[in-house]
Amino acid sequence: QSGLIEKYRFENFVVGKANELVYKVCLQVGQYPGVSYNPLFIYGSVGLGKTHLLHAIGNKAMEYGYRALYSPVSDFSEEMIAYLKKGQIDTFRNKYSNVDVLLLDDVQFLSGKERTQIELFKIFEAMYTRDKQIVLVSDRHPKDLKDISDRLISRFESGLVIEIGLDDETKLSIIKQKMILYGMPLDQKLINYVFENTGYNVREIEGAIKTLKVVGMKNTSKEKNTKDIKFVVEFTARHFKLKPEDLKRESKERRIINARQIAMYLCKVVLNASYVEISRYFGKKDHTSAIYAVKKVEEKIKEDRKFKYMLTFLEKQLKKELL
Ligand code: ADP
Ligand code: MG
């Protein structure tokens, strides 16, 4: 009946610079509702943990023996209309004002809903005069809310208005926490991948990790590697005044074999591509062809100083172009 989701707790909320203050305030409100910050208004963009914290407050308050009620504003509004139609609007008012902690999510959706605003204002007044806690969450600051009555906005602003954010350090901690949660190894490569392929949005981060768990790193990075391998082949061909296709076709020509082996070697040392990937790109079924090529080039580097200089130059040049 409380509408609370139990898994959203303070204990599994990762805290960092950008959300530390709001976390502390919420914890305080959960333990001592109606005392210090009333109403509490939290705002910030999507996926930053606003809903999570709202439930955490409710769960904490329940733990401390208070009655809490969570509701997204869209549900609140629909329910109000239903009660209104049944001619039982008093029941609705009582339901919402007779709790110790009222948690309203996504209040930006009050926009344009006049009757809902009127009812909320009444509930607000009834609760506030009895020191009952009200917590509101929105995607924007009260001042930026549209089509909401001035008296309601001024109530929203009358307590503490606080923003929630996310910074790189916290994002990194969240990625690690979620990877552990999903039973994945804390591989630096995986962590970096998730970090670089997500924005400041924890929902997006969770999505990326889930995908990674199902699809695996190999597939996720395949496209990138294939693109880079293609680049290395074109680069090598250009250096030896050949066409990229030349390097991929069967040939007994010395300079073509030589260039292909060097291209494979560069894919290995510069891209750290797997032997399977490299061989496949060159149309070889057997991955040992790439192993063989890399070994050949390594041998030649040891024996031939001029060859070694050339390869050092190629490696440097390639890295520059890959940036
Ligand atoms: P919002 O309401 O701000 O759009 P949510 O609270 O729905 O965001 O958060 C999206 C998801 O990210 C949820 O699964 C939530 O548990 C998780 N999440 C957000 N912030 C954190 C955090 N700091 N630590 C752990 N999980 C988080
Ligand atoms: Mg939310």
**Candidates 203, 206, 209, 210: which one to mutate for ligand 1, based on the most atoms within 8 Å of Cβ?**
203
Which two tokens mark 248? 């991929």
Residues 185 and 263 in one domain: no
User: In the structure encoding, which two tokens stand for residue 194, read together?
Assistant: 């998730």
Same domain, 28 and 146: yes
> What is the whole-number distance in angstroms between the Cα of residue 89 and the centre of ligand 1?
34
Long-range contacts of 174-182 (CB under 8 A, 24+ apart): 174/14, 174/202, 174/205, 175/205, 175/209, 177/12, 177/14, 178/205, 178/206, 178/209, 179/209, 182/209, 182/210, 182/213
Helix (H) or strand (E) holding 127: helix 114-129
Rounded distance from Cα 163 to ligand 1 centre (Å): 14
Number of the ligand closest to the Cα of 164: 1
- Tell me, yes or no, whether 287 lies in a domain: yes
Q: What ligand 1 atom has the least distance to the C-alpha of 8?
A: 16
pLDDT of residue 48: 96
Ligand 1 contacts (CB < 6 A) are 8, 13-14, 19, 46-52, 174, 202-203, 206
Distance of CA 105 from the midpoint of ligand 2 (Å): 7
- Domain assignment present for 33: yes
- Which value does ipTM take for this structure? 0.99
CA–centroid distance, 202 to ligand 1, in Å, is 6
The one-letter amino acid code at 141 reads: H
176 and 194 assigned to the same domain: yes
Query: Probe ligand 1: pick from 8, 24, 27, 52, max atoms within 8 Å of CB?
Result: 52
Any idea what the CATH number is for the domain that residue 36 is in?
A: 3.40.50.300
Are 36 and 129 within one domain?
yes
- Report the number of distinct structural domains present in the chain: 3
**Are residues 249 and 152 located together in one domain of the fold?**
no
CATH number, domain of 307, equals 1.10.1750.10
Range of the domain at 64: 20-163
pLDDT at 126: 96
Q: What is the CATH number of the domain that holds 196?
A: 1.10.8
3-state secondary structure of 162: strand
Q: Which of 4, 70, 202, 205 to mutate to test the pocket of ligand 1 (most atoms within 8 A of CB)?
A: 202
Residue 4 CA: distances (Å) to CA of 14, 69, 74, 251 = 20, 7, 16, 69
Residues 261, 284, single domain; the answer is yes
Average pLDDT per consecutive 10 residues, the chain (323 residues; last block may be shorter)? 96 94 98 96 96 98 98 98 97 96 97 97 96 97 96 97 95 92 83 85 92 70 72 95 91 91 91 81 84 90 92 90 77
Question: Given this model, what pLDDT does residue 268 score?
Answer: 84
Q: What per-residue confidence (pLDDT) applies to 198?
A: 81
Q: Is 43 in the same domain as 151?
A: yes
Domain-embedded: residue 11: no
pLDDT the model gives residue 252: 85
Same domain, 73 and 47: yes
Residue 93 CB partners (closer than 8 Å, separation 6+): 119, 122, 123, 126
Ligand 1 atom nearest 12 alpha carbon: 25
Shared-domain flag, residues 26 and 151: yes
What pLDDT was estimated at residue 211?
A: 85
Please report the pLDDT score of residue 219 as a whole number: 53
Whether 191 is covered by a domain: the verdict is yes
Q: Is residue 9 part of a domain?
A: no
- Kindly give the number of the ligand 1 atom that is closest to the alpha carbon of 106: 2
Show the tokens assigned to 43. Answer: 């705002």
Backbone angles phi, psi at 40, to 5 degrees: -105, 130
Do 36 and 143 fall within a single domain? yes
Query: Do 28 and 101 have their domain in common?
Result: yes
Kindly identify the ligand whose nearest atom is closest to the C-alpha of 45.
1
Q: Of ligand 1's atoms, which has the minimum distance to the CA of residue 23? A: 23
| Domain co-membership, 131 together with 258 | no
**What pLDDT does 285 receive?**
78
The residue among 162, 164, 322, 306 whose CA lies nearest residue 234 is 322
